[in-house]
Amino acid sequence: MRRLIFDFGSENVRMGMEGGRRPPLTEPAVVAHRVSGDVVAVGEQALRMLGRTPDGLEAERPFTRGGVRSQKLAEALLKNLLARVGGHGFRRPEIWIAMGAGASAIDRRGLGVLAQHAGAARVRFCSLSACKALGLELPLFQPMGSLLVDMGASCTRIDLLSLGHSVAHQKVEMAGDHIDEAIARLMRDRYNLMVGEATSQAVKHALLGDGADRATANGRDLVTGLPQSVTLERDEVLPSVALLADQIAHAVRELLRDVSPELVADLAGHGVFLTGGGARLGALSDMLQDRLDLPLHLDADPEQTICKGLQMALDPKYGTKLRTA
Ligand SMILES: Nc1ncnc2c1ncn2[C@@H]1O[C@H](COP(=O)(O)OP(=O)(O)OP(=O)(O)O)[C@@H](O)[C@H]1O
Ligand SMILES: [Mg+2]
């Protein structure tokens, strides 16, 4: 049976094929459906409909904060992805999913059931934090503490690993989306401009990903009701980044309070590893480094860390060591 690996994110779903001959496929985790429930578009096509749907049609994200928001929409998305690779020898595949330490048996069962409905023959779960450590090429099975911070769109997961296991974890219910929302609020309250999700995200990428000093957004003028554009300065969005950095630093301190001093001491030399799309927010990593006073390492391809690690976890040398069910 051929195997497929999945990283279900709230913004993106990534799917890799056993053998890794092709790079993992990344698809926006969005499904457009009628009020009746009929699915009309998934992925890239559905993403373009976000904020542009007429009455009777909705575009939604099926996953959030490491869990499933809508079983039915998640199943539709997965079915579509499986259909795309069905002709490449992956009909009725075994699928491997990375699940976080905080996921419950109910979360796992829900995902397992929907994956089987979508066409998977079998579902295997792997430790999410172990996959990240493998993807980061950390010494996973050594008695050494590694601190991983994964900042996605909907949440930030913090894990301390040693000897292949998560020793402690924390979750901050805030990540990249928080900055998009802050930018939209700023546009509305300071400049009377309503902007959509895609626009505020593009402004974030320009100011904080590319490091531009200013970025222009187009939207609807709240006074005239007509199209308008506004230019935002980088400094105006930094307070929202600082709030996120404060929350993450606070969660890291909470996590470290309850672990052995040996593991905490390991971090002084080893530092913190930042993954997920949020690792591309240059200002955030600078602020985190200041607040934690620890060396911070950025993955070169932070969105792919989990898939890379899952791909490695398929190696028979790991047997069932990384499996969580
Ligand atoms: N160049 C960039 N600059 C700034 N932010 C970026 C950049 N590229 C991606 N991001 C942000 O990274 C986030 C998406 O990251 P990722 O794909 O890891 O999330 P996800 O896995 O779908 O979400 P989650 O793990 O929270 O469920 C978004 O907030 C996105 O705007
Ligand atoms: Mg993610």
Instruction: List alpha helices for 148-260, DSSP H.
Output: 176-191, 197-204, 234-257
Ligand 1 pocket, residue 208 CB under 6 Å: yes
CA distance 324 to 97: 10
Contacting residues for 80 by C-beta, under 8 A, at least 6 apart:
42, 43
Q: Which of the ligands is closest to the CA of residue 177? A: 1
pLDDT truncated to tens, each residue of the chain (325 aa)? Answer: 899 999 999 999 999 998 767 788 999 999 999 999 899 999 999 999 988 888 899 999 999 887 899 999 999 999 999 998 877 777 899 999 998 877 777 788 889 999 999 999 999 999 999 999 999 999 889 999 999 999 999 999 999 999 988 999 999 999 999 999 999 999 999 999 999 999 999 999 999 999 999 999 999 999 999 999 999 999 999 999 999 999 999 999 999 999 999 999 999 989 999 999 999 999 999 999 999 999 999 999 999 999 999 999 998 888 788 878 6
Residues whose CB falls within 8 Å of the CB of residue 267, separated by 6 or more in sequence, listed in order: 145, 147, 256, 294
Query: CATH 3.30.420.40 occupies which residues in the chain?
Result: 3-131+307-318, 140-298
Lateral strand order in the sheet of 296-298? 165-172, 156-162, 146-151, 272-275, 296-298
Q: Sort strands 12-17 and 25-28 into parallel, antiparallel or unpaired.
A: antiparallel
Task: Please tell me the predicted confidence (pLDDT) of residue 88.
Answer: 73
**Residue reference for tokens 């000093």:** 213
Task: Evaluate whether the domain defined by 3-131+307-318 bears CATH number 3.40.50.150.
Answer: no
Ligand 1 centre from 84 Cα, in Å? Answer: 24
> Which atom number of ligand 1 is nearest to the Cα of residue 13?
22
Determine contact, residues 281/241, Cβ cutoff 8 Å.
Answer: yes
Q: Quote the tokens at residue 17.
A: 């094929």
pLDDT value of residue 120: 94
| Alpha carbon of 319 to ligand 1 centroid (Å) | 31
Nearest to 285 by CA among 174, 182, 208: 208
Atom of ligand 1 nearest to the CA of 278: 12
Q: What is the pLDDT of residue 54?
A: 87
SS3 33: strand
Q: Is 164 in the pocket of ligand 1 (CB under 6 A)?
A: no
pLDDT for the residue numbered 147: 97
CB of residue 11 inside a 6 A radius of ligand 1: yes
Q: Nearest Cα to 1, choosing from 314, 322, 321?
A: 314
Distances (CA, A) of 287 to 95, 148, 241: 38, 16, 8
Q: Which atom of ligand 1 approaches the CA of 29 most closely?
A: 22
Domain boundaries 140-298, CATH class: alpha beta
Token representation of residue 25: 């496929």
DSSP character at residue 209 = I
Question: b/e string for 56-80 if b means 16 or more Cβ within 10 A?
Answer: eebbebbbbbbbbebeebbbbbbbb
